[in-house]
């Protein structure tokens, strides 16, 4: 017998007191748990800060201050010929309506008995969008010329920002676009019940607006553009990606060529997205001659970008189907294709759907390649219904965010955050759908 030295130092060790090694081990474990917890806390607090800042800045974008005015539609201005011919009325350009708005504001001041000393250009509290709004209405209802009509106009962004607490009397004094008297006028109108702040559906449904009237800018075109592109990506990337994965996973022989293809698909997933943008610009626009800023080009570029994601996740889903199922199918005399389409594919379905939705969500948030193919354009007209609409100019949600952050007026900063909230809501809906689908169709064997 060899005398083995006791590693614990004492020959009579009790399990009631931890020895040195055990203590050290326990301490290490405790430290590791603490590090993990700290890492999670840092991650969570970053997420909370991000969400809080976006929500704080973006929520006000969903409300807007509006003023209700009685506009005299005087026939002298709108229909100089006096024959109520819609064509003649259409000859009066938007600028011609500016006088009517001024008159409407002055009438309101008189009606509510508002007296403000030194009030200059009271109509400046109404958005420049107002003239266009009245003109559009008159063109649709030419018979109303000569009477008066009640309209609800946006106030200018400065007045709107005053109610959101971002413009103060002090800042207004230095601001060339707003005066203290005009703010006082807005407050007087509010007291009289003609001015109020409410939810602004136009932020979601209206098209973009120019630098002079941020209060009118909306996400409508961007949402339609993004939806069109997602439709194109879904229709192209899903069948191509799934077909490619099934072939590679189930049918392709394992040789050097398929190895090279596999490596390159993984590499493709890591290519910076802007490279896909340059590719799209070179091939789809310069070579194939497709229109710029069109959802079709954006959709094609995003398809190329999403394909590797879908292929990789589909292959993983196919791989996770146990080989015993394939054996079982082949064993009863199913052909390779029958075993794939009757048994393997249905079992891999939820995984494929999840991968596809995550790929789509990635594509929805992609900005860089779209900048290169001209989707950063200023588009104020809705694209048509598909398929023609795929070729009409449009923007996309993330590009609209990028676009608005570059505009000078501070009101656009608020709208950019609001647009991010809309984008996040869409992404959240897609991810939740993916999780629900996975839960719903998950099978165990």
Partner 1 sequence: MKDTRHEQRDTTMNDVKISASGVQVYYGDNHAIKDVDVEIKDKTVTAFIGPSGCGKSTFLRCLNRMNDTIDVARIEGDIRIDGEDIYDPNVDPVQLRAKVGMVFQKPNPFPKSIYDNVAYGPKIHGLARNKAELDEIVEKSLRRAAIWNEVKDRLQAAGTGLSGGQQQRLCIARAVATNPEVLLMDEPCSALDPIATSQVEELIDELRTNYSVVIVTHSMQQAARVSQKTAFFHLGNLVEYGDTDQIFTNPRDKRTESYITGRIG
Question: Under the rule (CB under 8 A), what is the footprint of partner 1?
Answer: 253-254, 322, 324-335, 338, 342-343, 347, 443-445
For residues 197 and 326, which CB has a smaller minimum distance to partner 1 in the complex? 326
Structure tokens at 203: 């932020």
For residues 114 and 325, which CB has a smaller minimum distance to partner 1 in the complex? 325
- As measured in angstroms, the least distance from the Cβ of 311 to partner 1 is 21
For residues 49 and 337, which CB has a smaller minimum distance to partner 1 in the complex? 337
Structure tokens at 196: 């109020």
Under 8 Å between Cβ of 363 and 225: no
User: CA 339 from chain center: how many Å?
Assistant: 41
- As measured in angstroms, the least distance from the Cβ of 344 to partner 1 is 11
Under 8 Å between Cβ of 158 and 172: yes
3-state secondary structure of 141: coil
**Nearest-5° angle of CA 56, CA 62, CA 65?**
110
For residues 88 and 262, which CB has a smaller minimum distance to partner 1 in the complex? 262
Under 8 Å between Cβ of 413 and 57: yes
- As measured in angstroms, the least distance from the Cβ of 327 to partner 1 is 6
Quote the CA–CA distance of 155 and 126 in Å, as a whole number.
Answer: 4
- As measured in angstroms, the least distance from the Cβ of 225 to partner 1 is 41
For residues 140 and 443, which CB has a smaller minimum distance to partner 1 in the complex? 443
**122 to 150, 196, 212: CA distances (angstroms):** 18, 17, 17
Sequence-separated (6 or more) residues with CB below 8 Å from residue 146: 73, 74, 75, 79
For residues 95 and 445, which CB has a smaller minimum distance to partner 1 in the complex? 445
For residues 198 and 322, which CB has a smaller minimum distance to partner 1 in the complex? 322
- As measured in angstroms, the least distance from the Cβ of 160 to partner 1 is 58
Q: What is the dihedral of CA 413, 415, 417, 423, to 10 degrees?
A: -140
- As measured in angstroms, the least distance from the Cβ of 201 to partner 1 is 47
Quote the CA–CA distance of 298 and 115 in Å, as a whole number.
Answer: 55
Sequence-separated (6 or more) residues with CB below 8 Å from residue 160: 64, 65, 154, 197, 215, 411
- As measured in angstroms, the least distance from the Cβ of 250 to partner 1 is 10
Quote the CA–CA distance of 307 and 304 in Å, as a whole number.
Answer: 5
For residues 318 and 360, which CB has a smaller minimum distance to partner 1 in the complex? 318
- As measured in angstroms, the least distance from the Cβ of 324 to partner 1 is 4
């Amino acid at each position: 017998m060899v005398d083995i030295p006791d590693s614990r130092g004492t020959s009579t060790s009790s399990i009631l007191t931890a020895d040195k090694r055990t203590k050290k081990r326990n301490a290490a474990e405790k430290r590791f748990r603490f590090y993990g917890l700290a890492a999670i806390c840092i991650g969570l607090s970053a997420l909370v800060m991000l969400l809080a800042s976006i929500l704080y800045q973006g929520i006000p974008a969903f409300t807007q201050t509006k003023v209700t005015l009685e506009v005299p539609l005087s026939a002298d201005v709108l229909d100089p010929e006096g024959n109520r011919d819609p064509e003649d009325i259409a000859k009066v350009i938007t600028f011609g309506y500016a006088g009517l708005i001024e008159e409407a504001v002055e009438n309101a001041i008189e009606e509510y008995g508002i007296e403000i000393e030194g009030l200059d250009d009271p109509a400046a509290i109404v958005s420049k969008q107002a003239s266009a709004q009245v003109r559009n209405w008159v063109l649709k209802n030419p018979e109303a010329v000569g009477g008066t009509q009640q309209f609800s106009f946006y106030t200018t962004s400065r007045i709107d920002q005053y109610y959101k607490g971002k413009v103060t009397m002090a800042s207004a004094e230095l601001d060339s676009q707003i005066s203290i008297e005009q703010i006082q006028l807005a407050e007087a109108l509010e007291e009289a019940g003609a001015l109020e702040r409410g939810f602004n559906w136009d932020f979601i449904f209206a098209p973009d607006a120019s630098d002079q009237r941020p209060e009118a800018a909306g996400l409508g075109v961007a949402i339609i553009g993004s939806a069109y592109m997602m439709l194109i990506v879904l229709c192209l990337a899903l069948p191509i990606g799934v077909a490619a994965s099934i072939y590679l996973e189930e049918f392709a022989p394992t040789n050097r060529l398929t190895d090279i293809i596999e490596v390159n698909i993984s590499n493709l997933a890591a290519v910076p997205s802007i490279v896909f943008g340059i590719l799209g610009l070179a091939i789809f626009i310069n070579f194939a001659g497709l229109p710029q800023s069109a959802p079709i080009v954006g959709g094609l570029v995003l398809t190329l970008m999403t394909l590797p994601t879908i292929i990789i996740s589909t292959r993983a889903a196919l791989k996770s189907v146990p080989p015993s199922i394939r054996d079982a199918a082949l064993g009863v005399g199913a052909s390779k294709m029958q075993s794939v389409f009757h048994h393997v594919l249905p079992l891999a379905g939820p995984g494929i759907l999840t991968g596809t939705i995550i790929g789509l969500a990635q594509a929805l948030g992609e900005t860089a390649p779209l900048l290169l193919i001209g989707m950063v354009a200023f588009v104020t007209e809705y694209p048509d219904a598909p398929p023609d609409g795929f070729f009409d100019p449009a923007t996309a949600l993330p590009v609209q965010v990028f676009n608005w952050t570059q505009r000078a007026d501070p009101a656009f900063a608020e709208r950019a955050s609001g647009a991010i909230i809309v984008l996040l809501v869409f992404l959240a809906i897609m991810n939740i759908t993916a999780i629900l689908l996975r839960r719903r169709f998950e099978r165990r064997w």
